[in-house]
Amino acid sequence: MKRVAFLAVSLVLPLVSACAPVETKTKLVTPAGSQVRSAGPGDVVMSFQSRKALPNIVGGADIWGRTTNAGGTTVRFIGARGSKAVLERTDVVVESNATTMTESPMIIPQTTTTTINGTVGMTDVSGTARSTSYQFIPPRGSSQYATMQRPLAIALGSGQSVTIQGRTLRVVGVAANELRYVVE
């Protein structure tokens, strides 16, 4: 019996420890590259989306790569103040109680066995039939809430740059109602 328990633990332990940690990954969803772009007042210059791996029953990341919304960052051109572009950075954090267990459906098999006994004329007869049906239970779902930090104002002149979420926003030119920029 001790060998069976040892074998079970030795087989399960590597699987549990092989789970990747739950991480949040952020990616730029607006275009980037060496192309000079332009924006008017109110236009989004940079937009990032964050996704967090769904935690599994042992606290590791979902082995199928499922994720949940974790918020994002938006940088918007507000307008020009003199020779400087005024930008506004807004960060939103989304907290969720989603796990692989709350976001996975369940399929429960139900097996039924039917037995019939009787006689036909003078002969005894019997029969057995077995059938399986499945009950689908949808995911129970999760809840989430978003919090936003106070927007941060950034003023940049021509030739200046700022790094946001690992990407560089470089201002090429500023006019009264236009920003020319490059996201690298």
Domain ranges of the chain: 19-106+141-183
- Answer yes or no: pTM beyond 0.75: no
Per-residue model confidence as pLDDT tens digits over 73-82 = 999 999 999 9
Say how far apart CA 11 and CA 9 lie, in whole Å: 5
- Judge residue 92's burial from the number of C-beta atoms within 10 Å of its C-beta, 0-12 exposed, 13-18 middle, 19 or more buried: middle
pLDDT in tens, 33-75: 899 999 999 999 999 999 999 999 999 999 999 999 999 999 9
Q: Which of 6, 87, 107 is nearest to 39 (CA)?
A: 87
Helix, strand, coil shares of the chain, percent, nearest 5, are 10, 60, 30
pLDDT confidence of residue 3: 52
Please tell me the distance from the alpha carbon of residue 172 to that of residue 154, in angstroms, as a whole number: 15
Distance CA(184)–CA(161), nearest Å, equals 10
Encoded tokens for 86: 């005024």
